Chains A and B, each alone.
Chain A
């Protein structure tokens, strides 16, 4: 516990001093803003660009605000995910590769505390980024379109946050397992694709699959997801995260010989 707080302080300083604590949320805010803004200005852009045939009259239906926020979440699922991978692929692997980890590893270091400090910091910044991103999206949707129930937004973001934690756990564990950041990114991305693919192909009946969490998150905006399925999916996800934490601590210890001396 004592080592954990020492290492947390180190992570905190690192993320402030390399500006990650600013630019990761900034990208999510940008993503959150883009969707409502583009949807709002799209009709005007199309009209003024003159790409429409002479005399054609198009009725652009105003999309419901729920649809805009779901689209924001889809942005997070693609670009947002790539940003998180980019930001944290090197969190353990980079330290070993550059050799900065060596002077930590030669001390009586608690590897669970070490891995956990990495995970907590990456999770905290990722969650805050997702939250302010949704908040920005919500603000612009309110401005240009219509109100979404605050409670519904809260439930959606809460459910989606569990999914984000799973993604971050995969990224940080991959960073601990792989020899460099690039390979960690490749592995994290491959795992993500395999999860999506497996669920897409065979998972129609797997109601408690973690991959369905984003769907359940979006479902809060329509009515509400099936509470049993949601609880099951959250439970499974929590177990997987726990397993990843144990694996990450172990593989960090196992890989300590790979630090550059």
Chain B
């Protein structure tokens, strides 16, 4: 597989990952009462690609 194809393949994933991470982190900072410690969620969101932010939205954020 040539270089261009690889870039084309990875770019959308990268964009989604970044977008989700930023959304999740911004929300976490503003969240007064997340379901679990904040630092733990920050680590999960940053370390686990894509799944981390989604876990935060589904389980971690609670409605505030």
Which A residues form the contact surface with B (CB < 8 A)?
Answer: 18-20, 22-23, 26-27, 29-30, 33, 37, 86, 136, 139-140, 143-144
Assembled-state Cα–Cα distance A19/B22 (Å): 12
Q: Report A135 CB to chain B, min CB distance, Å.
A: 10
Select one of B9, B23, B63 contacting A22, CB under 8 A: B23
Select one of A19, A27, A139 contacting B23, CB under 8 A: A19
A23-B5 in contact (CB<8A): no
Q: Which residue of chain B is the closest to A23 with respect to CB atoms?
A: B57
CB contacts (< 8 Å) of B54 on chain A: these are 23, 26-27
A26-B8 in contact (CB<8A): no
Beta-carbon contacts under 8 Å, B37-62 to A: 50, 53-54, 57-58, 61
Taking A26-B16, A33-B13, A143-B9 as contacts, is the C-beta distance between A18 and B61 under 8 angstroms?
yes
CB contacts (< 8 Å) of B9 on chain A: these are 37, 140, 143-144
Q: List 11 A-B contacts (CB under 8 A).
A: A19-B23, A19-B27, A19-B57, A19-B61, A22-B23, A22-B57, A26-B16, A26-B20, A30-B50, A33-B12, A136-B12
Main secondary structure, interface of B, reads helix
Q: Which residue of chain A is the closest to B55 with respect to CB atoms?
A: A23
B5-A143 in contact (CB<8A): yes
CB contacts (< 8 Å) of A136 on chain B: these are 12
Assembled-state Cα–Cα distance A143/B61 (Å): 36
Assembled-state Cα–Cα distance A26/B16 (Å): 7
A23-B53 in contact (CB<8A): yes
**Chain B 1-29 interface 0/1 with A at a Cβ cutoff of 8 Å (1 = within):** 00001001100110010011001000100
B16-A29 in contact (CB<8A): yes
Assembled-state Cα–Cα distance A136/B12 (Å): 9
Chain A to chain B: the 3 pairs with minimum beta-carbon distance, closest first:
A23-B57, A19-B57, A23-B54
CB contacts (< 8 Å) of B19 on chain A: these are 22
A86-B58 in contact (CB<8A): yes
A22-B20 in contact (CB<8A): yes
CB contacts (< 8 Å) of A27 on chain B: these are 54
CB contacts (< 8 Å) of B50 on chain A: these are 26, 30
Q: Report B14 CB to chain A, min CB distance, Å.
A: 12
Taking A23-B54, A30-B50 as contacts, is the C-beta distance between A18 and B63 under 8 angstroms?
yes
Assembled-state Cα–Cα distance A30/B57 (Å): 16
Q: Report A110 CB to chain B, min CB distance, Å.
A: 25
A23-B61 in contact (CB<8A): no
Q: Report A14 CB to chain B, min CB distance, Å.
A: 9
Q: Which residue of chain B is the closest to A41 with respect to CB atoms?
A: B1
Assembled-state Cα–Cα distance A26/B19 (Å): 10
Assembled-state Cα–Cα distance A19/B21 (Å): 12
A30-B53 in contact (CB<8A): no
CB contacts (< 8 Å) of A19 on chain B: these are 23, 27, 57, 61
A23-B12 in contact (CB<8A): no
CB contacts (< 8 Å) of B8 on chain A: these are 143
